Chain A
Amino acid sequence: MKTIARVFVTLKSGVLDPQGQAVANALHRLGFPEVKGARIGKYIELELDGEAADADARLAKMCEDLLANTVIEEYRIERDGKPSK
């Protein structure tokens, strides 16, 4: 059975995000002054084969080993629309 895991990688708070600042500035110029900030991250969709008992732990290890750089980024995992434990 195939399942989908969704990984959201975002910058930790306090880490400078010049891309986000540029996007917020552009939105201001487009007439959206209510935008007080923008932070840019990554969305990664993983197609998994089977439903392993240790799927949560393996997904977390994928994030720690490659998908996120935990010096500056944090990650959140959802499986089939539900937050992973």
Chain B
Amino acid sequence: MNAAVIRFPGSNCDDDALHVLGRVVGVPAKFAWHKDASLGDATLVVIPGGFSYGDYLRAGAMAAHSPIMAAVKAFAERGGPVLAICNGFQIACEAGLLPGVLTRNASLRFVCRDVHLVVEGRPTPFTSGIPAGRILRMPVAHAEGRYVHPDLPSLEASGQIIFRYVDASGSHSDLGANPNGSSANIAGICNAAGNVVGLMPHPERAAEPILSPVGLADGRSLFESARAHLDGVQRRVG
């Protein structure tokens, strides 16, 4: 059991992801550099946030074509679990690992604050241990988080909408709960097979109470769920 955290020029929270994996949930993790051709013996991949390659052209567009991403695609095609966070989500969409695209926030502003998400959709390695309907609090920090998909009903029907922005009570109706104008309040999705999950919020920044303004550690449940998946056990987390 080993995790690889992909590191691009301009990645951030890569150290945070490594810390949460290795020190908080006990999955030994190391970095994979964007020029590497191999993920080594990794059984879990995290594509972290940041501003890879300066987000030139479009957010994630350049990173999607870096050498390591060919290895990540092959890993994902074999069913390997991949968690793509924030800029990682943008990269995964640009690389074709996930459907759709993330566009400029409707407000045109960079948004940096805590949001609430509801967990739903089909089981994934990162959410199968979390009871459906659980509301998680974690921060977002992005300028391009408005998710667009050409066929939302099919995405919904296949259970690929995994996280939606809600207010603290779980309601979708509060317009202020959606920080970027994302379609159908989508905060995170998975691929058709369910093994690749992308989300705009940062679970690795909310995995320990000391890092949360309200003393929560909701982000940890995604990593604990992945740990249970790697252990091959069903374990309720979060």
Contacts and interface: CB of A to CB of B under 8 A. Distances in A.
A16 interface: yes
Contacts of A53: none
A50 to B, nearest CB: 24
B148 A71 contact: yes
B-side interface size class: 10 to 19
B189 to A, nearest CB: 13
Interface residues of B: mostly helix, strand, loop or mixed?
loop
Contacts of A72: 101, 103, 148
Contact of B57 (A15, A16, A22, A66): A66
B101 A69 contact: yes
Interface in B98-120: 100-101, 103-108
Interface residues of A, number: 12
Interface of A: 15-16, 18-19, 22, 42, 65-67, 69, 71-72
23 contacts: A15-B148, A16-B106, A16-B146, A16-B181, A18-B104, A18-B106, A18-B108, A19-B104, A22-B108, A42-B57, A66-B57, A66-B61, A66-B65, A69-B58, A69-B61, A69-B94, A69-B101, A71-B100, A71-B148, A71-B149, A71-B150, A72-B101, A72-B103
